[in-house]
Structure 1
Amino acid sequence: MSDYNLNDLEDISEILKAMAHPIRLCILKGLYVEGDKNVTTMQECLKIPQSTVSQHLSILRNKGIIKGKRNGLEITYTITDELVKKLIEVIVKNKL
């Protein structure tokens, strides 16, 4: 049937659940299209409170989808999961 076993599919399912929110999809799309960003830049783009952005970033970070790199007081985020990059690429190309 496929090269994936049930454990692999459970891991993929958890990634999809973490992505399955409009704000998180928007964050991931922005990171994919525009590159690394900090919370303030995301908050200004999304026009939502910084605390809300931080909550969504925490979910993505806890699932290993993104990581933050500290530079002084600022943390810049990037997508680290290759599957997520591929999924976002499909979404961007199909304008979903």
Structure 2
Amino acid sequence: MDNNVNHYNEAAEMLKVLAHPVRLCMVKGLLEKGECNVSYMYTCLNAPQSTISQHLQKLKSAGIIEGRREGLEIYYSVCDERVSELIKILIK
């Protein structure tokens, strides 16, 4: 058995963040599209912009996504390759 508890804690935290249907949908969409801004996401998901922003913040805090500013817009993309592989396995 591996005694590296930090490794397991990190993996468990990532899974907790991804364990929400809207966040899974957002990450899958980002992987398919490459990058999106909040306006595009809330239109596609038919959810309030504030809700999308809260989910984005959780994903960003977990290091799953990153943002790139272009003028007034921030374009988000997945920055953790492990998440890409995980989504491919979970959602076909």
Q: TM-score under structure 1 normalisation?
A: 0.90
Give unmatched runs, 5+ long, in structure 2.
Answer: none
**Aligned-pair RMSD on alpha carbons?**
1.3
Q: What amino acid maps onto 2:42 in structure 1? A: Q
1:91 corresponding residue in structure 2: 90
**Cα distance, 1:92 vs structure 2:** 3.1
4+ aligned runs moved over 6 Å, structure 1: none
Alpha-carbon distance in structure 1 between the residues aligned to 2:81 and 2:60: 14
2:19 corresponding residue in structure 1: 20
Q: TM-score under structure 2 normalisation?
A: 0.93
Q: What amino acid maps onto 2:24 in structure 1? A: L
2:34 corresponding residue in structure 1: 35
Match of 1:25, SS? helix
Give unmatched runs, 5+ long, in structure 1.
Answer: none
1:6 corresponding residue in structure 2: 5
Q: What amino acid maps onto 1:11 in structure 2? A: E
2:51 corresponding residue in structure 1: 52
**Cα distance, 1:83 vs structure 2:** 1.0
**Quick one: percent identity of the two aligned structures?**
50
**Cα distance, 1:5 vs structure 2:** 2.3
1:63 corresponding residue in structure 2: 62
> How many pairs align?
92
